[in-house]
Structure 1
Amino acid sequence: MAWRDGKASLTRLMLFMASIILGIAAVVSIQLFSDNLKDNIKKQSKSLMGADFIIDSKQKPSEKVQKIIDSLGANAFEVNFVSMAAFPKNEGTKLVKVRALEGAFPFYGSLTTVPENAGKNYQELGGALVDATLLLQYDLNPGDSIKLGNVTFSIIGALKSIPGSTAISSSVAPQVLIPFRFLEQTNLLQLGSRKEYQYFFKNTTIDLEALDKKIDPILDAENADLDTHTSTSRNLGRRYDNVGKFLNLVAFIALLLGCIGIASSVHIYIKEKLKNVAVLKCLGASRKQSFLIYLIQIIAIGFIGGIIGALIGISLQFAFPYILQEFLPFSVDVSISFQPILMGIILGVLMSVLFALLPLLGTWYVSPLEVLRGQEENQQKPKKARILVFLAILLFIFLFSFWMLKSAINGLVFTLGIFVTFAIMAGVASLFIKLIKKFFPTSWGFTSRQSLLNLFRPNNQTMVLVLAIGLGTFLISTLYFTKDILLAKTSLENKKTDANIILMDVQSSQEKQLVQNFESKGLEVIDNIPIITMRMESIRGKTANEIRQDTTVNMRKWMLNREFRVTYRSELTETEELLEGEFIGKVTAEKPVLISIADNLAEDGNLKIGDDVVFNIQGVLMETKVGSIRKVDWSSMQVNFMILFPTGVLEKAPQFNVMTTYAPTEESSAALQRDLVKNFPNVTILDLRQVFTIVEDILDKISWIINFMAFFSILTGFIVLIGSVRNSKYQRIKESVLLRTLGAKSKQILKITALEYVYLGLLGSLTGILLSLFGSQLLAIFIFKEPFIPSGIPFLVFLPAITILVVVIGLSNLKSVLQSPPLEVLRKEV
């Protein structure tokens, strides 16, 4: 019977199925890609690192660390740092990451260059390998030269890839590889220079887990670190797990949206079948039999939809490596596994049945007398059964989100978020219907009144269309609003008080010359900040080594290994707010040195007002007390510090400076940088204009990925819309024929339908945009802590575009409605 009845309604059942296919496709494609990503990370872990393990340190290795390195037998090493590079060919300058290498690194993977043999020859030939994109930007070719500090290198080849780097990191500071033997001649490493020492090891026989447990604590105590290829792959896997979780949630939302379409379409479908069910019961069919007829149809819909969705998902997963290639440090080999496909099919069946159960329950309570009564509405409401089904749906959503997020709290928050969002949109639709009923415009013309009446007629589509249109609009609008918040954080205002050029590693002997250089170009020195490097020697009377070994100490121990860069001044700046204590700007002879620390340092170190902290400044110990705790605005463009000393204590300590200025035009900025690179090669120049351009480019790429994923939800919403509108076609035929029998013209019917879908399109999209406006405001306040100025695009583009699309889809059904003869209603062929 299910087969016979289904054949007669095949077109309508296919539309039900379309609601679920895209959600399944999204889930399966993302699951397959996540599995492939994890497998590739495991297989390529050595190639990602380029070695079996690495020992690295932010300072020259201590005697103990050096002995460990020598005993393990390092096969290659490097010193890397950021510096300015100059290109004599066109007088260009650029901030680059210099890697001074010694040895045949990488041992695994490949150093991809053009020409191919450049990676093998550059150390022997004494030349440089320069990032390929950087060469294109400055119109350079192998054979041209690059100047780093006091040494000019010949460019041996273009560097296309090296293990461990990504396109995003290279865009911030493009990599330049040089032979280690020339590092000292460049004279780039001065007091305060930020540098990293890395030692690469190739050893296939050593037990990496045992090695990590044995020597990592020793290295930590000496401010060094051990990274193995297995730990790196685990960390990388966790990093991309977060990406996978986000993509899974977006796919799950698309799936839920499809399920709303299933629930609505089945609701209409079952309502039209109630008389058939009543006839079957008159002929002796049991409740169970009539219920199973339509349940079998729904199971078939979910099963076939799951298979089709899984097949589409298999095809889609091949696109993800290209979509995410900017964010992956390796190429992904795509393969097909059975588990996500099986999950997609099971998910299709389970979600279809769960969301169809509420309308299906109507068949259970149909009385045989319905045949005689001729009522369209089933009067008996199975409240307990409906509550149980609703709870089952919520439980499933929670369990599925818990499985994806691996956190019960996050799963609960996600489930509540889905419930609240849907509840608000459903509440808006319900309120809209009540307001129309209460304040019905009786003075309007017939067609206008009839279009409003359609919004709350039997079998109306107001609720489902508002949910489908609203949620899709909500997702895409939130993306645009959030993007605006992020981009606002990177905007540059044309004010001379805001520095856009930062000079780092300025030595004391260069300070006066640089000031004169600025003045000769008509530029003002905005900040000239002294920087002193130091480490924490002891806290509250316990040495750093004692704290590292004491597992009972309640603090995060990263600060014990950190080389702090601090400054001194007599007053706080506008980016700092005093939270506790009193800031003393000048040291007095009677009192100990009172320092001010940032609130995040106080929290991580469990530091309070009055705590003793001893610092090691180039071998000299200085006793201090925590005098105040500050809140620092780290998002500001000013140079901020975790630790602030008063004046009168550090002036004679070894130090370097950070200087800032404002260059009004790109030309003046370029001229200044060329001059500084030529005369002060050790000074690192940070051009904030270039940084912001890179940040905006990264945000655009992230936005594109989110847009791509939102596409699943939007398209699913439109599939639901098409399915819901198409499935109301049969009811429309009946209404249209009745109207035409009463004398309505085709033009009037056309206007009634168009106005109805204008209301639905405007209500759904406006609800989604306003909800996203509220949500984005909350994000701005609690997450980004930035002022929120909404974009006009959702209101000016999305609102009319989505409304027009809704109207077009709604009117596409009208052709057959207008062509149906009035006799059709009398023949009962609806």
Structure 2
Amino acid sequence: MLSLSLAWKLFWRDWKSGELRILIFALWVAIGGLTAITLLVDRIDRGMTKEAAQVLGADRLISGPRPIDAKFSEHASELGLNTSDLLWFSSVVVAEEEFHLATVRAVDAQFPLAGSLEIADKAFGEGKLTRGAPESGTVWLSNRLLYLLKLSVGDTVQVGVATMKVAGVVVVEPGGSSFFNFSPTLIMNINDVPSTDIVQPGSRLSYRLALSGSESALSDFDQWAESELNKSQRLLGADSGAPQLGSALGRAKNYLNLAGVLGLILGGIAIAIAANRYANRHFDHSALLRCMGLKKNQVLSIFCLVLLLAGLSGSLLGSASGYLVNEVLIKALADLLPEKVPAPQLATFLISLVTGLTVLIGFALPALICIRSIQPMRILRRDLAPVNLSSWFIVSVAVFALSLVLYWYAQNLKLVLAIVVGGGVLTMISLLAASGLLKLARRWSQTRSIAVKFGVEHLQRHKSASLIQITAFGLTLTLILTIFLLRNELIADWKAQLPADAPNHFLVNIQQEDVDDLHQLFASKDIKAADIFPMVRGRVTELNGEKPEQVLPEKAQNHNSLRRELNLTWRNEMPEANSIEQGEWNMRDATEPQISMEQKMAEALHLTLGDEVTFTIGGQTISAPITSIRKVDWDSFQPNFYVIFNPGALDEMPSTYITSFFLPPDQKLVLNELVRQFPTVSVIELDLILNEVRSVLEKASLAVEMVLVFVILAGLAVLFATTRATLDEKLYESAILKTLGARRDFIRKTTLVEYWVLGILSGGMAAIATEGLAFALYTYIFKMDAVWHAWIWLAAPVAGLLMVVPAGAIGNRKVLSLPPVAILNDS
């Protein structure tokens, strides 16, 4: 009880005198930025994921070739999830003399669980938002199917053996645009399926259970379903169901998590510096408490309680400020954010509070432990310093606390290891670079004015403190520049990945005799199209002469490439969105087959160059060695393939052709002419997916912009804490100089010279470190091509000057204004 009372009095006194304000301010900024970033990431992420679910038509989908067991819907209902039963299959639909292959979507009254379903009362009319299935005995047709069958709303169409009335036209359908949805759409009531007699033994069907609900319930369902699914079933989410959205969301999450992590590290650095200054200034107080009869552990517990009070104050202020900032941003940017931004979660605030205390303990406690070893004699002999802890111990405590918090926050072990290990290496290199740069600065100053020479010599005399300052400033600038760099190039990469004229239509089932005519049609309409690829469908049946289940672990046996027929092609030249990772591209015309395989498929099936893969194509088998492994940009919206053969190897196989092209909205009627001229061709419209991807990228880019602001604020906290850490020493030295006759102008010049040199050296070190860190992040985290940034080498020193010099001038105002007598008496 005595310890708590003394701790409170000491805390209150230090707060009023300003001793704790720096530490609390550093914690306030760190936790405020962290809370704002965490809330922003969490709420936008959940909002974007909900919007992305519109492409899928639900938050989750279970799909399989056989009816979904009732246990899944029962468990979903127990968790409070909404469910919808769906059935997809292909069937020829007939209208008098016309017939065409259609993708039939049998839905129930709960359809759709996510996204918009718009039905019009005439062809190419304005759609109305609709929910549920068509009335029994009726169907809805897509505009294209209506045109192909030469029907109007009110006419009848035959599906299997059942005759049904056309009750509407599908304008927008959630989950309907897909790379595997080759045919125009017909939507019917799932209760009418038995009357069609289409579902027979051996029919190719896709049973689906759609689910939607809260994030926590979905997460619980995911964990439960993982062990309940059989090998033929898949659980799809917004990312797995729409790969282009998954890529966009994945990169956005990685960036935002990285920004939060770096902001937290900057806050930790500021806390460590502020806590070290606080401990050094309280050695005398510790000695006085020891003289009053307190034991070592009692003194330590008192200062730990002070630290806890400071931590709670800073964390609570930071959490509250972060929440307010987040709410202001959410409301100010409501038009650009997801339509329904989820409310903040209580867990986010608890994480921020615990994070603040953990970081404070990890970075500040080692400095305070030194107080425990203060001897009572220091009250008479000020030169008695405490026993210093092992540097390795201090670093280990800080790194352990940081690693713990980072993993809890990011939930990405790879990212945490990259930050901790990379940060350690970067710090060591930075210290060495700072030492070398300081020596160069000293040589340069020898021929300069006395003020310049004195300022640089002061840095050299206090080399340890100077190296710490250069390293702290340099690392701070490195992290800010890295985040700024990533922000620019990530957004640029997204825009390049999905330009305005990205292909938004696919053509499949093109016959060989139609290829030349199709080229002419594209040319006459000035349509930008990709290459036209031949395509056959085949299944992988053997790996190096053995069945996959005999040579692969169970997880690899479930890879998608083994569970379905693959689209196979052949060509001389490598496709545009591909690059060679292993081997050489040498696809010359030859009857002896060879293949180029996509990188991730090769890794999943444990295959490498020279391995032989056997395919079954139309009842025939063909084996071919792997001569190259490719990296494929699946986000290119171009025809891409897991496996590419050499020309001549598949000449005996019946094939069709596939291509993609861009068609502006005002040229949609060209599709009618295309279908009329090429009646066997199927058109896949990807407008919905493209619109959703662009929406997600726009909102992710906005989040990137806002996160950068908080990282800069955390960096400013480090600058402020660092300049304040050397304030006592500078006050004492300025008092000595003034006593010896130095003018105020001379002291101001020498102080500015110090920070000019620190700013330039920090900027130079940051340029080196930023290039290295950016290379590692681009290569291993964001999977982007690393490039050289010449402008960094000029921008970094300039940024160092603009940040360090003003911070130094503001933080050291007392050096010029305080009289020497006041300083010397206090010392």
Which residue of the other structure, out of 763, 766, 769, is the alignment partner of 2:767? 769
Q: CA–CA distance in 2 between the matches of 1:747 and 1:698?
A: 56
Whether contact under 8 Å (1:758, 1:807) holds in the other structure is yes
Structural mapping, 1:206-221, within 5 Å: 217=230, 220=232
Whether contact under 8 Å (2:58, 2:114) holds in the other structure is no
Cα deviation for residue 304 of structure 1 reads: 1.4
Structural mapping, 1:256-655, within 5 Å: 256-275=265-284, 277-278=286-287, 287-288=296-297, 291-292=300-301, 294-316=303-325, 318=327, 331-335=340-344, 337=346, 340-367=348-375, 370=378, 375=383, 381-384=387-390, 386-404=391-409, 411-433=416-438, 439=443, 441-456=445-460, 462-463=466-467, 465-482=469-486, 504-505=507-508, 506-517=510-521, 527-536=531-540, 547=549, 555-569=557-571, 585-586=588-589, 597-598=597-598, 600-606=600-606, 609=610, 611=612, 613-617=614-618, 621-635=619-633, 641-648=641-648, 650-651=650-651, 653-655=653-655
Cα deviation for residue 241 of structure 1 reads: 10
Which residue of the other structure, out of 15, 27, 34, is the alignment partner of 1:20? 27
Aligned partner letter, 1:395: F
Cα deviation for residue 264 of structure 1 reads: 1.9
Cα deviation for residue 164 of structure 1 reads: 6.9
- CA 1:541/1:325 → structure 2, altered by over 3 Å: closer, same or farther? farther
Aligned partner letter, 1:334: A
- CA 1:602/1:324 → structure 2, altered by over 3 Å: closer, same or farther? farther
Q: CA–CA distance in 2 between the matches of 1:643 and 1:434?
A: 58
Cα deviation for residue 399 of structure 1 reads: 3.1
Aligned partner letter, 2:426: T
Whether contact under 8 Å (2:68, 2:208) holds in the other structure is no
Q: CA–CA distance in 2 between the matches of 1:291 and 1:610?
A: 66
Cα deviation for residue 44 of structure 1 reads: 12
TM-score normalized with structure 1 length: 0.69
Q: SS of the residue aligned with 1:12?
A: coil
Q: CA RMSD in A?
A: 6.1
Measured against aligned partners, the alpha-carbon deviations of 1:519-559 in whole angstroms (never above 9, x if no partner) come to 66899999443222333456677778xx4999769645422
Cα deviation for residue 772 of structure 1 reads: 1.4
Which residue of the other structure, out of 720, 729, 745, is the alignment partner of 1:747? 745
Cα deviation for residue 8 of structure 1 reads: 5.4
Cα deviation for residue 624 of structure 1 reads: 1.1
Q: SS of the residue aligned with 1:743?
A: coil
- List runs of 5+ in structure 2 lacking aligned partners: 1-5, 75-82, 91-101, 130-141, 154-167, 189-203, 214-220
Q: SS of the residue aligned with 2:616?
A: strand
Q: SS of the residue aligned with 1:812?
A: helix
Aligned partner letter, 1:558: N
- CA 1:265/1:597 → structure 2, altered by over 3 Å: closer, same or farther? closer
Whether contact under 8 Å (2:315, 2:353) holds in the other structure is yes
- CA 1:452/1:613 → structure 2, altered by over 3 Å: closer, same or farther? same
Structural mapping, 1:144-293, within 5 Å: 150=147, 180=187, 217=230, 220=232, 247=256, 250-275=259-284, 277-278=286-287, 287-288=296-297, 291-292=300-301
Q: CA–CA distance in 2 between the matches of 1:33 and 1:803?
A: 31
Q: CA–CA distance in 2 between the matches of 1:652 and 1:744?
A: 95
TM-score normalized with structure 2 length: 0.69
Q: CA–CA distance in 2 between the matches of 1:459 and 1:596?
A: 58
Kindly, what percent of the aligned residue pairs are identical? 21
User: Which residue of structure 1 lines up, in the alignment, with residue 736 of structure 2?
Assistant: 738
Q: CA–CA distance in 2 between the matches of 1:487 and 1:33?
A: 18
Cα deviation for residue 771 of structure 1 reads: 0.8
User: Which residue of structure 2 lines up, in the alignment, with residue 713 of structure 1?
Assistant: 711
Q: CA–CA distance in 2 between the matches of 1:550 and 1:466?
A: 53
Aligned partner letter, 1:352: L
Aligned partner letter, 1:393: A
Aligned partner letter, 1:441: S
Whether contact under 8 Å (1:130, 1:177) holds in the other structure is no
Measured against aligned partners, the alpha-carbon deviations of 1:623-670 in whole angstroms (never above 9, x if no partner) come to 211233312242497865433344446446443334689x9xx9xx99
Q: Give the total of aligned pairs.
A: 737
- List runs of 5+ in structure 1 lacking aligned partners: 81-97, 114-118, 133-144, 182-194
Q: SS of the residue aligned with 2:19?
A: helix
Cα deviation for residue 598 of structure 1 reads: 4.6
Aligned partner letter, 1:262: I
Aligned partner letter, 2:644: L
